A and B are shown apart, each in its own frame.
Chain A
Amino acid sequence: MSLGKQTPSGFLNQITGGPVRVKLNSRVDYQGVLACLVGYMNIALEQTEEYVSRQLENKHRIIAERGPTFLFITTKHF
């Protein structure tokens, strides 16, 4: 995937709809499909799995709230 010249918002628009992994400040990992992402970095994830060190829960839909909560969002899975 060539990045070229991209803005963070361009990247975020690009990954919407696809599988992502989100790590929170509190060492919890979420993997799911990114349904949407809005201005304050509030996101909605579908079919999410929550990992601390192992798989904990399966949630059909989650809203993860706020930029300050995330460490990062990536498309790369375990």
Chain B
Amino acid sequence: MADDADQQQTSNTVEEPLDLIRLSLDERIYVKMRNDRELRGRLHAYDQHLNMILGDVEETATTTEIDEETYEEIYKSTKRNIPMLFVGGDGVVLVAPPLRVG
């Protein structure tokens, strides 16, 4: 894997980061967004700005609260489900295949 020749651009080699996204069309993906949000959904469409159309989406928003007495950080996640969603590329931080547990 480390020695994949740059010279041979086969269909397995990633030419551009956007190619990786193209390979994920119609697959489930994981998107990390700004403001501590994460999306998991099926990628229907995207463009060079990383605007995306996602279907069957689960959004996880994580907030941190500080307990006033113990000064501990409490992480809270809120989830919601959205059947069809347009994501503005502005807020996208990264796109990846969904995380495999274990």
Interface residues of A (CB under 8 A from B): 17, 24, 26, 33, 35-38, 42-44, 46, 57, 59-66, 69
Is residue B50 contacting chain A, with contact meaning CB distance below 8 A?
yes
Interface range on chain B: under 10, 10 to 19, 20 to 34, or 35 or more? 20 to 34
Residues in chain B near residue A64, CB distance under 8 A: 17, 93-94
Known interface pairs A17-B6, A36-B15. Does A63 touch B97 (Cβ–Cβ under 8 Å)? no
Known interface pairs A17-B6, A26-B34, A33-B2. Does A61 touch B15 (Cβ–Cβ under 8 Å)? no
A42 CA to B94 CA in the complex, in Å?
10
Interface residues of B (CB under 8 A from A): 1-2, 6, 14-18, 20-21, 34, 36, 50, 89, 92-97, 99
Known interface pairs A26-B34, A44-B20. Does A62 touch B95 (Cβ–Cβ under 8 Å)? yes
Known interface pairs A17-B6, A33-B2. Does A60 touch B16 (Cβ–Cβ under 8 Å)? no
B17 touches A38 (CB 8 A): yes
Please classify the interface of chain A as helix (H, G, I), strand (E, B), loop, or mixed, using the class held by over half of its residues.
strand
| Choice from B36, B50, B97 contacting A65 with Cβ under 8 Å | B50
B96 touches A35 (CB 8 A): no
| Choice from A26, A59, A60, A65 contacting B17 with Cβ under 8 Å | A65
Q: Which residue of B lies closest to A46 (CB)?
A: B1
